[in-house]
Structure 1
Amino acid sequence: MATMLLNVSSLTKSYGDRRAVDGISFQVRQGLTLYPN
């Protein structure tokens, strides 16, 4: 099993009164490539 590097739970982001992100969750494990280098 790969090592967990990042665990995000119930993330929200607002700009003033407007909520742009509402309760997303995700995990990033070691060895996962997010973007090309």
Structure 2
Amino acid sequence: KKKTVVLFSPVLIKFVIHTNGTYRYFMVTTTAEMT
């Protein structure tokens, strides 16, 4: 769980900047639940 979050951290940040910011929470939740 922690490793995935840390690895996806840069991707999530970039995604948030590209999107409105709602994707960040959605992606984080999906990643945390997926792992």
TM-score past 0.5 threshold: no
Normalising to structure 2: TM-score of the pair? 0.17
Query: Which structure has greater helix proportion?
Result: 2
In terms of Rg, which structure is larger?
1
Structure showing greater relative contact order (alpha-carbon pairs closer than 8 Å, 6 or more residues apart): 2
